[in-house]
């Protein structure tokens, strides 16, 4: 469990994080997204106290970190595994020696250490590269070694800052499988920082959108994707652009497939006494749910409120599409 | 005294040269042991008390940095003369190998401390974060990350320092410290003994080349 409350971080006059409140429950994967410079890495560094928060508290598994002594903090940090951007491996140590580093700090015996390192390398599928130096590994392999090192002390919390950025889709996929495995098998609480919406869509349980040091939107991914009027939901599941029609007014609709009657389109049309034009439509899985998204055209003569209510009665969230919001979609966040 | 004009016969040159080479090696060897023992911790201290280090402390950093600069700001000959009272206090004499070791060590420590500081500064800062985030103590991080990752750079620094100390040992020859510098100055320069002069020069050049070559090889082997 990670609980961040009232977190502010300033460097001199510049405030990088501004009143962050955020909570990640046990065995959940939370994703932090946001534009470059939003403060994502700073947030991660505040959680393991590599940066000392200016104000606010960080609680990890019922232990408040900002008030700990240096010695206690070292101990608390062992509960928090960190996977650094571009792995940050020691160049002069082999993969196995890199993974062993936190265990050596802990003072484990050589025999015990070898056993644990074997296990860890096996878990990330890197046993066959144990004696390779980082320069002899691919980016994806280095990242796996970084994850193995982050897991060495069997932490209850894992922080990952852009662990998949710059990796090809296959490598990304296998790292994400690894993360979900950790959550499901070991109950690890994971915070991933990413600018890839695919990552959020496939592994995250909750998501927060950080912008200029503030969380501007957050929630369970399953809820967020059903919001019809949110930047985050549009970034997560962008719709293809729909052709404009003069006599039609464009609406964006969202629904969870299991919460509606399949005949909703015909029923809404009948209620409004008009034919609804489907301009674009997608059904996708996100946050473990089938989410349908449509862009539809409705007779411009109808009252907006009446249209929205007719859709709402079918369990559909509807919002008027405004000009240009299609382009806004993905780059608004990434 | 034909020897004075013609120089030492070539056959007798090795008898003079080899003991001098031995003295130089002894002087540089002792000095380097002192330099590494004191310069390495000093360099680590300078880096780690600086803003990117493990225990930033402006006052401590400024003080030791100032002292290290002091050791490097004077030309070696001037430093040697300036600290004669100190040298006499420590080793009880102002001539010979013992007397040369004191100023050489001081200059060497100051030089090496800076080289060590630069070598450690080259380590990506995230690696120190790795050490902290995985529960390492500062001392553990110095040993397991700073010294390990900087090893190739430290080997290069050591090479540079040994060569500088050979040069200083030659200058220290002027105060009768013995070694190749003493030989070159006393026979080669003051007695116009060209054979000795040429031999000393060739030997010094070869010595420096061999040390640099070896140092470069070591650095290559250490870098992965
Ligand atoms: N030590 C520091 N001193 C001053 N400003 C800093 C410091 N560290 C970070 N910042 C500033 O804080 C802001 C947020 O930085 P941060 O690295 O957290 O962004 P980010 O969201 O991780 O961006 P990116 O996606 O590019 O990694 C930036 O404007 C950066 O300049
Ligand atoms: Mg970042």
User: pLDDT tens digit string along B124-134?
Assistant: 999 999 999 99
Considering only the beta carbons, identify the residue of A92, A93, A101 that sits closest to B134.
A101
List CB contacts (< 8 A) between B129 and chain A: 45, 50, 82, 84, 88
Contacts of residue A222, defined as CB under 8 A and 6 or more positions apart, other chains included, come to: A256, A286, A287, A288, A289
B210 touches chain A (CB under 8 A): no
Q: What confidence tens digit (pLDDT) does each residue in A278-311 have?
A: 888 888 777 777 888 888 999 988 999 999 999 9
Residue A244 has pLDDT above 70, yes or no: no
Site from A42, A79, A102 to mutate, B interface, most B CB atoms within 10 angstroms: A102
What's the order of all strands across the beta sheet hosting A248-256? A277-286, A289-299, A248-256, A317-320
* Maximum CA extent, chain B: 75
Three-state DSSP class for B52? Answer: coil
The pLDDT assigned to A264 comes to 92
In whole angstroms, what is the distance from residue A59 CA to residue A77 CA? Answer: 12
| CATH number, domain B10-223 | 1.10.3720.10
Report the percentage of chain A scoring pLDDT > 90: 66
CA–CA separation, A207 vs A40, rounded Å? 13
Quickly state the pLDDT bin for B35 (edges 50, 70, 90).
very high
Q: What is the pLDDT of residue A243?
A: 65
Distance, in Å, from the CA atom of B104 to the CA atom of B172, rounded to the nearest integer, reads 8
Instruction: Write down the mean pLDDT value for chain A.
Output: 90
Over residues A113-129, the mean pLDDT reads: 94
Q: Where are the domains of chain B?
A: 10-223
Residues of A with CB below 8 A from B224's CB? 91-92, 133-135
| Cα B51 to Cα B41: distance, rounded to the nearest angstrom | 18
Q: Which residues line ligand 1 (CB under 6 A)?
A: A 11, 14, 16, 34, 36-42
Strand, helix or coil at A334? coil
Give A64-84 pLDDT, tens digit per residue.
Answer: 999 999 999 999 999 999 998
CB-defined contacts A:B, below 8 A:
72
| Residue B15 or A220, more confident | A220
How far is ligand 2, taken at its centre, from the CA of residue A46, in Å?
A: 13
**Can you tell me the distance from the alpha carbon of B98 to that of B83, in angstroms, rounded to the nearest whole number?**
14
pLDDT in tens, A172-191: 898 899 999 999 999 999 99
Q: List CB contacts (< 8 A) between B221 and chain A.
A: none
Ligand 2 centre distance from Cα of residue A41 (Å) = 4
pLDDT range class, residue A332, cuts 50, 70, 90: very low
| pTM reported for the whole predicted model | 0.84
Residue B5: pLDDT over 60? no
CA–CA gap between residue A230 and residue A190 (Å, rounded): 24
Q: Which residue has its alpha carbon closest to ligand 1 atom 14?
A: A39
Q: Is the pLDDT of residue A327 over 70?
A: no
A251 burial (CB, 10 Å; 0-12 / 13-18 / 19+) is buried
Taking an 8 Å cut-off on Cβ atoms, the answer to whether A82 and B130 are in contact is yes
Q: Which atom of ligand 1 is nearest to the CA of A40?
A: 21
Coil, strand or helix at A80: strand
């Amino acid at each position: 469990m990670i609980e961040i409350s009232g977190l502010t971080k300033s460097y001199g006059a510049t405030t990088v994080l501004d009143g962050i409140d955020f909570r990640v429950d046990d065995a959940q994967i939370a994703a932090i997204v946001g534009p470059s410079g939003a403060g994502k890495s700073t947030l991660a560094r505040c959680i393991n106290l590599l940066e000392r928060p200016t104000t606010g508290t960080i609680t990890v598994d019922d232990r408040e970190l900002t008030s700990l002594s240096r010695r206690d903090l070292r101990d608390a940090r062992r509960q928090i595994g960190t996977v650094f951007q571009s792995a940050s491996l020691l160049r002069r140590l082999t993969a196995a020696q890199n993974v062993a580093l936190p265990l050596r700090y802990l003072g484990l015996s050589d025999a015990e250490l070898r056993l644990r390192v074997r296990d860890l390398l096996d878990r990330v599928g890197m046993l066959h590269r144990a004696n390779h130096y980082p320069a002899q590994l691919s980016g994806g392999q280095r990242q796996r070694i970084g994850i193995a090192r982050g897991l060495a002390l069997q932490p209850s919390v894992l922080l990952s800052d852009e662990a998949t950025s710059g990796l090809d889709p296959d490598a990304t996929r296998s790292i994400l499988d690894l993360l979900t495995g950790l959550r499901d098998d070991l109950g690890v609480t994971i915070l991933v920082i990413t600018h890839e919406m695919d990552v959020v869509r496939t592994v995250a349980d909750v998501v927060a959108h950080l912008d200029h040091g503030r969380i501007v939107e957050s929630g369970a991914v399953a809820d967020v994707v059903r919001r019809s009027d949110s930047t985050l939901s549009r970034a997560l599941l962008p719709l293809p652009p729909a052709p404009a029609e003069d006599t039609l007014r464009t609406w964006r609709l969202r629904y969870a497939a299991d919460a509606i009657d399949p005949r909703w389109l015909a029923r809404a049309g009948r209620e409004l006494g008009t034919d609804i034009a489907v301009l674009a439509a997608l059904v996708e899985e996100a946050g473990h749910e089938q989410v349908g998204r449509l862009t539809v055209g409705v007779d411009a003569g109808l009252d907006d409120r009446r249209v929205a209510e007719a859709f709402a009665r079918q369990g559909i969230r509807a919002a008027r599409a405004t000009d240009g919001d299609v382009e806004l979609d993905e780059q608004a966040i990434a | 005294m034909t020897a004075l004009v013609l120089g030492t016969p070539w056959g007798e040159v090795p008898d003079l040269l080899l003991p001098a080479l031995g003295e130089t090696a002894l002087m540089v060897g002792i000095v380097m042991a002192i330099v590494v023992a004191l310069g390495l911790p000093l360099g680590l201290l300078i880096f780690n008390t600086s803003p990117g280090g493990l225990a930033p402390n402006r006052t401590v950093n400024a003080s030791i940095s100032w002292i290290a600069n002091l050791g490097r700001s004077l030309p070696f000959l001037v430093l040697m003369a300036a600290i004669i009272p100190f040298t006499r206090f420590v080793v009880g004499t102002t001539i010979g190998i013992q007397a040369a070791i004191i100023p050489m060590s001081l200059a060497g420590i100051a030089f090496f401390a800076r080289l060590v500081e630069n070598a450690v500064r080259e380590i990506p800062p995230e690696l120190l974060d790795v050490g902290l985030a995985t529960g390492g103590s500062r001392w553990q991080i110095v040993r397991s990350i700073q010294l390990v990752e900087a090893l190739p750079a430290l080997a290069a620094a050591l090479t540079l320092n040994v060569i500088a100390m050979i040069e200083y040992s030659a200058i220290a020859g002027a105060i009768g410290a013995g070694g190749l510098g003493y030989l070159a100055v006393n026979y080669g320069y003051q007695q116009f003994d060209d054979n000795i002069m040429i031999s000393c020069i060739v030997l010094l050049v070869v010595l420096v080349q061999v040390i640099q070559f070896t140092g470069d090889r070591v650095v290559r082997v250490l870098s992965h």
